Amino acid sequence: MDRARLDQLLGRDMVHQGAALLADPLATPGLTQTLERPGPILVLDQVSDPRNVGAILRSAAAFGACAVITQDRNAPEESGALAKAASGALELVPLLRAVNIARTLIALKAAGCWVIGLDGAAPAPLSGPALAERRVALVLGAEGEGLRRLTRETCDELAGLAMPGGMESLNVSAAAAISLYELTRRP
């Protein structure tokens, strides 16, 4: 079909290169099954930009994360924009949906995870070597607002990123990549 018809079907903002495919969504494993995989878990608290979620998935795949968990609501669907930003990571790293982030954090704690909320105002920086013996669930907050109160209170600890350059915060996907690097760093 012609490009105008594809634009009409997919939306003008969709990059399609003249082709489209209707596919079933990927099967999503449950939390218990997912935790059988090694690596840290990323939990996204109302991160709403599909490009950020896609970039986070890409970093999660690069650093061997177990899964990315987002909210069922207030989070983007697995769209073309998200998949494009993920550059194939959507097929490698499970993207789970949680109805309630705080309850999910409690379940992660019960499964032996140490839950760390990333917060620019935290008293201490994230330290990968200090966490080498722990299974970490790293919680990242929404662009601009950060972690919500109940999410923050449910974390075992809050940590920031060492940023000697004077910036107050980073884009959530950049913060996720740096945090994952830090968690894999060994002395």
Q: Is residue 12 part of a domain?
A: no
pLDDT of residue 9: 83
pLDDT of residue 143: 78
Q: Of the candidates 45, 103, 117, which has an alpha carbon nearest to the alpha carbon of residue 74?
A: 45
pLDDT of residue 12: 67
Q: Is residue 172 part of a domain?
A: yes
Q: Is residue 15 part of a domain?
A: no
Q: Is residue 9 part of a domain?
A: no
Total of domains in the chain: 1
> What's the token pair of residue 144?
């601009």
Per the structure, the complete domain to which residue 95 belongs is given by 27-184
**Which CATH number belongs to the domain containing residue 149 in this structure?**
3.40.1280.10
pLDDT of residue 140: 96
Q: Is residue 99 part of a domain?
A: yes
pLDDT of residue 85: 87
pLDDT of residue 90: 87
Helix (H, G, I), strand (E, B) or coil at 101: helix
Predicted structure pTM score = 0.88
pLDDT along the chain (187 residues), means of 10: 81 72 80 93 94 95 96 83 85 93 96 94 89 94 88 95 81 94 85
Beta strands in the chain (DSSP E): 41-45, 67-71, 95-98, 113-118, 135-141, 157-159
Q: Is residue 68 part of a domain?
A: yes
Q: Is residue 145 part of a domain?
A: yes
State which H helix or E strand residue 31 sits in.
helix 31-34
Q: Is residue 129 part of a domain?
A: yes
122 vs 75: CA distance, rounded Å: 25
